[in-house]
Amino acid sequence: MRMPFGKHRGKLLETIPHDYLLWVLDNCDNLSPTVRNEVQRILGIGRHSYTPPQTPLAVSTVNEWYRRLAREFHPDLGGSHEAMKAVNRGRELMLELVK
């Protein structure tokens, strides 16, 4: 499938940098379901790519993971805004799995 818009218009989705694909998912509200599903598949974050953990996931584990990554990627500590957005989104997804 090819990217239908933007600076990567016409390129195969598999050849587009993953950080740009993450940006597309976060910022393009009117993205077609077909493109959204394909981008999620490429990034490994779609519904069908999830494999349940062998041990139950605890909220405390998610919070520990989040704090470690936040210290590494927070913009005030030398990281970037985009990286921190990805960390925050990852935490949201992990907490959804815990519930």
68 falls within a domain: yes
Give the pLDDT score at 56. Answer: 72
In the predicted structure, residue 81 carries a pLDDT above the cut 80? yes
Query: 39 and 21 in contact (C-beta within 8 Å)?
Result: yes
Give the pLDDT score at 53. Answer: 58
What does the alpha-carbon distance between residue 72 and residue 14 come to, in Å, rounded to a whole number? 28
> For the chain, how big is the Rg over CA atoms in Å?
15
What does the alpha-carbon distance between residue 16 and residue 39 come to, in Å, rounded to a whole number? 10
Q: Confidence band (pLDDT; 50, 70, 90) for 54?
A: low
Asked if residue 63 and residue 45 are part of one domain, the reply reads no
Domain boundaries, position 34: 13-49
Asked if residue 68 and residue 44 are part of one domain, the reply reads no
6 falls within a domain: no
Q: Confidence band (pLDDT; 50, 70, 90) for 75?
A: very high
- Of residues 5, 52, 59, the one with CA closest to residue 31: 5
Asked if residue 73 and residue 42 are part of one domain, the reply reads no
8 falls within a domain: no
The mean pLDDT of the chain is 88
Q: What is the DSSP letter of 9?
A: T
Q: How many domains does the chain have?
A: 2
Asked if residue 93 and residue 63 are part of one domain, the reply reads yes
